[in-house]
Amino acid sequence: MLTQEEARKLTEKVLSFSTFPECDVSVSSSESAFIRFALNDVTTSGFAVEQSMSISSVRDGHAGSTNVDEFDDNSLREAVQRTERLAMIAPPSPEHMPPLEKQNYATAENYAADTAAARNRAMIPHIRAIIDGARQNNLVAAGFFERTAQTAAIANKQGNFGYGRTTDANLSATIRNSAGSSSGWASHPAVEISTIDGAAVAHTAIEKCLRWKEPRRLDPGKYTVVLEPTATGDLIQLMGFGMQARAAEEGRSFLSKPGGGTLVGEKLFPEFITLRSDPFNKLYSALPWGGGGGFFGGGAGSGLPAEPITWIENGVVKNLFYDRYWAAKAGKQPTAFPNHLILEGSNKSLADLIASVDRGLLVTRFWYIRIVNPKTAQVTGLTRDGVFLIEQGKVTSPVMNFRFNQSPVEMLKNTVAMGQPIRVRGGEGQGMIAPPIVVHDFSFTSISDAV
């Protein structure tokens, strides 16, 4: 992977090929090692080295961009020339922002050398623990263990340069019985691979599978639910996309005020709801820049220093995501994109939350979540890998899976209690730091036969 010095030399070389006043370069190099397993056996596995560079050239608002992963001089020169030729053809963009001047990026990084060095032989004992655990219980294990390491740099002709390194790992396992009538799941995402414990993941998934036997059929309808942290994260992570100031001001978002304007400053949620981004949280490994470009914070013009930001504080909408163009138009400060989300919680345990519910459903996680209405943030999806009835504060019986139609915004409004947050990563999306929560009136609309 590229060292800081190599990245600096490489980006300087690319910028030396530029004849336009503006040229933005973003380069990344990565290594990943992964093992897939299923049917109590390893299936596919590999080691991949990748590198990629994005180049954007601009003159008088005319912009062209390219991606290239051949880093020889000829390829890079040709790539820069290509962006300049595209820019000469393109109409000027009225939303183009001037390039960033030199920025001050944080030098601290959360990079774990053990993760970056780990190969299959370091992962196999954990997978063996899961497969052995499944076999001992006459169950069937499937799962995935991956670790990635990345170095990245950004540079432009105005002298801005940033460099960062990240690592991450995730082990997930699904345990099913051989009849396919019961299923359990667990995962552990971590920056440091040495903190991941295959035996612990196996224990949780096996226990869930053994408990979720012969689920009973309950009518769809509105239920009080206790969402395990992964289930909370599965839905709340979608709110990041909804924090865009532009969509809110243009009447296309749940944060649009009827008649015009936005709901910033309004108390939409209970007092104890605080949603924020923190790329420096020790559970995350993040690059020292965090967006500012127009397309989800990326693309040309991005590269603002990463910073913590609070989106919802004590129930009040505090901030929206402003890319540099929209911020300039609105007279606001641009912000980083809502990544590295944290939903604050409390010291209560999951058991405390379950004990507080007279009648409700405990949900392990959600699956196949898709937006139904971007204006209200309503999404649909299904429960997966363990739903249980709670009666008088105790988990009593397994329940068949449900489809839901529910806005995470309404869900947060109807949240009545929260527990201890942990880092979670479900089946879709990058995950977040989320607590277990208790929600009233969660809307299940049909039953699924799936296990």
Q: How many residues bind other proteins (CB under 8 A)?
A: 102
Contact characters 223-262, other proteins, x per CB under 8 A: --------------------------xxxx---x-xxx--
Give the span between the Cα atoms of 349 and 437, in whole angstroms: 10
CB 39 within 8 A of CB 142: yes
**How far out from the chain centre does Cα 7 lie?**
26
Does position 47 interact with other proteins (CB under 8 A)? The reply is yes
Task: Give SS3 for 433.
Answer: strand
**128 touches other proteins by CB under 8 A:** yes
Residue holding tokens 């910028």? Answer: 15
Dist CA 232 CA 102 (whole Å): 39
CA distance 268 to 291: 27
Rule CB under 8 A: choose which of 146, 192, 228, 234 binds other proteins: 146
**Per rule CB under 8 A, is residue 94 in the interface with other proteins?**
yes
Q: Which is nearer to other proteins, 93 or 314 (CB)?
A: 93
The reply on whether position 57 binds other proteins by CB under 8 A is no
Residue from 1, 218, 330, 422 touching other proteins (CB under 8 A): that is 330
**Which residue's CB is nearer to other proteins, number 10 or number 127?**
127
What string of DSSP letters covers 199-241?
A: HHHHHHHHHHHHHS-SPBP---EEEEEEE-HHHHHHHHGGGGG
Q: Residues 137, 346, 356, 376: which binds other proteins (CB under 8 A)?
A: 376
Cα distance from N-terminal residue to C-terminal residue, the chain? 42
Q: Which of 126, 147, 176, 423 binds other proteins (CB under 8 A)?
A: 176
17 scored as a contact of other proteins (CB under 8 A)? no
Please give the residues from 64 up to 93 whose contact with other proteins meets the rule CB under 8 A: 64-70, 72, 74-75, 77-78, 81-82, 85-86, 88-91, 93
Contact set for other proteins, span 266-295 (CB under 8 A): none
Task: Establish if 19 lies at the interface with other proteins (CB under 8 A).
Answer: no
Question: Shortest CA distance to 432 belongs to which of 365, 343, 348, 363?
Answer: 343
* Binding flag, residue 321, other proteins (CB under 8 A): no
DSSP for residue 243: G
